[in-house]
Amino acid sequence: MLPFHRFDGPEDAPVLLLSNSLGTTHEMWDPQLAAFTRHFRVLRYDRRGHGRSPVQPGPCTIEEVAGDVVELLDTVGLDRVSYCGLSIGGMDAMWNAVYAPERIDRLALCSTSPHMPPRELWDERAATVREHGVEAVADATMERWFSPDFHRSDPDAVARIRAMFVSTPAEGYAACCEAIADMDLRPGLPGVPIPTLVIACAQDPSTPPEHGRAIADAIPGARFELLDPAAHLPSVERAADVNRLIEDHLEADK
């Protein structure tokens, strides 16, 4: 299954792949585009069951979600890219860093976790969305994704992400919930040989800072950065800081 994807930026520049969160499309990364396309050819995509990518019924695994990325790279003829993922995008990035490290130059992980029990939470969310649609969990999700100050200071940005979220097909969202429910990437992290940046956020209830710290502690030589204040989507809430941190990491030693 080839996901919808698009390139932006200079055709002769090194490629940076951006992998977005559960319930968003490639447009989640719009606040990064102007900065990143100065130095990179940016590849964005809609994960399975999201945006303009096909919906496949039934549960999926994080291996399948990550495999979609490898298939995309193979199809567009890219052997190796820098890879930045947020939330489930960070999970597929970690899976590929463990099992396909030869495809990744540098790795940036935002607001993510290698393991997110309890399974029952994800199964219940998947069941709720299949029965009532993504709208049923939208308000609670926006509360987790953005800090109270950001809800007050930029309600238009929150509304834009909420509209993106509720447009997600119920089956696509639910299947990816089930991929997270089964996931445990912790055993493979100490073998990741890729220069890695981990960004966590102080007010993130979905993937709290200790999850990011555990990733950075497990991957040899990884750098950990904490953004405060910020919640689960720092690419929107703290776009300038996220852009700077990721650009600095990708350009290091060049």
Q: Which residues contact 96 (CB under 8 A, 6 or more apart)?
A: 66, 69, 70, 83, 103, 104
Q: What is the pLDDT of residues 177-231, one digit of tens each?
A: 999 999 999 999 999 999 999 999 999 999 999 999 999 999 999 999 999 999 9
Q: At 172, which amino acid appears?
A: G
pLDDT at 58 over 90: no
**Percent helix / strand / coil, the chain, rounded to 5:** 50, 15, 35
Mean pLDDT of 89-109: 98
Q: Is the dihedral of CA 38, 39, 43, 47 positive or negative?
A: negative
Helix axes 119-132, 170-181, angle to 10 degrees: 170
Q: Which residue do the tokens 């490629």 mark?
A: 15
Q: pTM value?
A: 0.98
Of all residues in the chain, the percent with pLDDT exceeding 90 is 96
Mean pLDDT of 104-128: 98
Q: Are 174 and 48 in contact (CB under 8 A)?
A: no
pLDDT at 18 over 80: yes
The CATH number of the domain covering residues in 5-251: 3.40.50.1820
Q: Is the dihedral of CA 172, 177, 182, 185 positive or negative?
A: positive
Q: Are 69 and 19 in contact (CB under 8 A)?
A: yes
Q: Which residue do the tokens 């445990």 mark?
A: 184
**What pLDDT is stored for residue 131 in this prediction?**
98
Please tell me what DSSP assigns to residue 238. T
**What pLDDT is stored for residue 252 in this prediction?**
85
In the chain, where the domains are located: 5-251
- In 3D space, the residue among 110, 169, 115 whose CA is nearest the CA of residue 145 turns out to be 110
**What pLDDT is stored for residue 254 in this prediction?**
60
What is the chain's length?
Answer: 254
At 100, list the tokens.
């396909």
Give the pLDDT band (50/70/90) at residue 57: confident
Q: What is the pLDDT of residues 129-154, one digit of tens each?
A: 999 999 999 999 999 999 999 999 99
**What pLDDT is stored for residue 1 in this prediction?**
73
Task: Report d(CA 167, CA 184) in Å as an integer.
Answer: 29
Among 27-36, 50-59, 126-135, 231-240, name the one with the lowest average pLDDT.
50-59
Neighbours of 123 (CB within 10 A): 15
**What pLDDT is stored for residue 201 in this prediction?**
98
Q: What's the whole-number average pLDDT of the chain?
A: 97
Q: Which residues contact 201 (CB under 8 A, 6 or more apart)?
A: 111, 209, 226, 227, 228, 230, 231, 232, 234, 237, 238
> From its phi and psi, is residue 235 left (phi > 0), alpha (psi between -120 and 50) or beta?
alpha
Element (H, E) at 214: helix 209-218
Task: Report d(CA 118, CA 115) in Å as an integer.
Answer: 9
Q: At 47, which amino acid appears?
A: R
- In 3D space, the residue among 4, 80, 17, 100 whose CA is nearest the CA of residue 49 turns out to be 4
Quick one: how far is CA 67 from the chain centroid?
Answer: 15
Give the pLDDT band (50/70/90) at residue 51: very high
